[in-house]
Amino acid sequence: MRVDPKAPAARDFAEGLLFPGHPVPAGVVGPDGAPDLKRFNVYRNNVIASLTDALAATYPAVRRLLGETYFSALAREFIRAHPPRSPVLIWFGQAFPGFMETFPPLAGYPYLGDVARAEWFWLQAYHAADVAPLDPALLQAVPSDGLGLVRFQPHPAASVVRSRFPVHCLLQANRFLAGQEVDVDMTQSQDVLISRPDVDVLVVRLKPGGAVFTQALLDGVALEQAAQQASETTEGFSLAPCLRDVLASGALAHMNR
């Protein structure tokens, strides 16, 4: 197959690739100069397959939860609604979590969006810049009367996902411990912190109030104020264990006094 120099705009060509019923773009011809639907369909199928594979690589837990057949069908719907804007396929699919949350046939599976959101942040953490995490000893050296005023700069790999569903257990059961017995209580709400202090990406289940506290720190809120926000929104918030989780996960990169 060759593309005639007088072929139409790239938009028409792209629509031809994404929509099966779209006619062969003008100018796409075979050796005999006639429109070549058969060869164009091969190219069209390869494009959809490669984009579906890219989504599957980013969202393996979602694929396992939905099953291969349904995931592939859903991927096709998403690809047509949100075609890639970059040739770098590892960044394709950022809108997938929100797409699932507004896709009517998935109304009975509202947890999928949060699972996908955590998987997207996992990918961001994996490819984030390598930055040394904050040494907890630096915080321990701060005088007690100035500790509450300390602010932090987040590690570039750190993200928080808040969910009213057991997102941590769902990730364990369908991605990190797939095939093993994992108890998933769908009545639980679970928040997670995702970071990469070294080589491996960490997915840490946060304690009550930990998501509000951690997100506040990542947003540059002073330590005392972040703790206050968590206390006001979550009964049973405990500062010490939540701060330990943040430091141990390497979610903070620098400290400002």
Residue 78 and residue 30 share a domain: yes
pLDDT attached to residue 113: 99
- Final residue before a domain boundary, out of 110, 139, 172: 110
Last residue in a domain, options 110, 137, 162: 110
| 251 close to 193: Cβ distance less than 8 angstroms | yes
CA distances from 157 to 47, 154, 216 (A): 30, 8, 16
Identify the pLDDT of residue 21. Answer: 58
**Is the same domain home to 116 and 217?**
yes
On whether the CB atoms of residues 77 and 19 are closer than 8 A, the answer is no
Separation of alpha carbons 225 and 107, rounded Å: 37
Question: How many domains are contained in the chain?
Answer: 2
Tokens read off for 216: 């506040």
Q: Does position 9 have pLDDT exceeding 60, yes or no?
A: no
Question: With 70 as the cut, is the pLDDT of residue 3 above it?
Answer: no
Q: Are 252 and 161 part of one and the same domain?
A: yes
Rounded Cα–Cα distance for residues 228 and 256 (Å): 19
| Shared-domain flag, residues 87 and 127 | no
Residues 188 and 216 placed together within one structural domain of the fold: yes
Residue 96 shares a structural domain with residue 127: no
Convert the pLDDT of each residue in 29-65 to its tens digit: 566 655 556 656 565 667 889 999 999 999 999 999 9
Is the pTM of the predicted complex or chain greater than 0.85? yes
Domain boundary among 70, 86, 110: 110
141 with 257, same domain? yes
Residues 13 and 103 occupy one common structural domain:
yes
CB 235 within 8 A of CB 208: yes
Mapping DSSP onto H, E and C, the string for the chain reads CEECCCCCCHHHHHHHHHCCCCCCCCCEECCCCCECHHHHHHHHHHHHHHHHHHHHHHCHHHHHHHCHHHHHHHHHHHHHHCCCCCCCHHHCCCCHHHHHHCCHHHCCCCCHHHHHHHHHHHHHHHHCCCCCCCCHHHHHCCCHHHHHHCEEEECCCCEEECCCCCHHHHHHHHHHCCCCCCCCCCCCCCCEEEECCCCCCEEEECCCCHHHHHHHHHCCCCHHHHHHHHHHHCCCCCHHHHHHHHHHHCCEEEEEC
Are 96 and 148 in a shared domain? no
CB atoms within 10 A of CB 218: 21
76-133: pLDDT as tens digits: 999 999 999 888 888 999 999 999 999 999 999 999 999 999 999 999 999 999 999 9
For residue 175, pLDDT beyond 80: yes
Same domain flag for 45 and 150: no
Domain coverage including residue 23? 1-110
Region 200-219 average pLDDT: 98
Is residue 211 domain-shared with residue 224, that is, in the same domain? yes
- Same domain as 116, residue 134: yes
